[in-house]
Amino acid sequence: MAVDVTVETVIARPVDEVAAYAADPGHAPEWYANIRSVEWQTPPPVAVGSRMDFVAHFLGRRLTYTYEVVELVPGERLVMATAQGPFPMRTTYTWEPVAGGTRMTLTNTGDPSGFARVAAPVMERAMRRATTQDLARIRAVLEGRS
């Protein structure tokens, strides 16, 4: 069973500001509750081919995985993918101007294998809840700036 979670929010800040902040992996621990740290494998800034190691805690487990940027349209779209582990994942951020600010959409898709496949329905619900909270957090961080 594939996992496909899409969540969006409107952030009362300009698209360029939201996209620049969200697309910088160094900011991930500030707004992702489950991300503990990010280390670059390639030199910043973000570009197609950039690779970063993420350390996360999810459903009581420590996860370490490497994301590679596979698509980047500055200010519009960022796509990162990981092929390792029992849960290969693709994460897509999109940003678009709307009345009052920026609509940010965050999509996580993957095709778990092994035990992760059996747990996919539970994982999908947990991912949706966590992603909703993460977008609320990035909104609060960015809207709290003067």
For 26-35, the pLDDT digits (tens) are 999 999 988 9
Can you give the pTM of this predicted structure? 0.88
Neighbours of 42 (CB within 10 A): 12
What tens digit of pLDDT does each residue of 31-80 get? 998 899 999 999 999 999 999 999 887 667 777 889 999 999 999 999 99
- Residue 88 sits in a domain whose CATH number is 3.30.530.20
Neighbours of 54 (CB within 10 A): 22
Residue 73 parent element (H or E) = strand 61-73
What residue numbers bound the domain in which 7 lies? Answer: 3-143
Whether the CB-CB separation of 77 and 91 falls below 8 Å is answered with: no
What's residue 146's pLDDT? 59
Across 13-22, 26-35, 111-120, the highest mean pLDDT is recorded for 13-22
Burial of 55 (0-12, 13-18, 19+ CB in 10 A): middle
Number of domains in the chain: 1
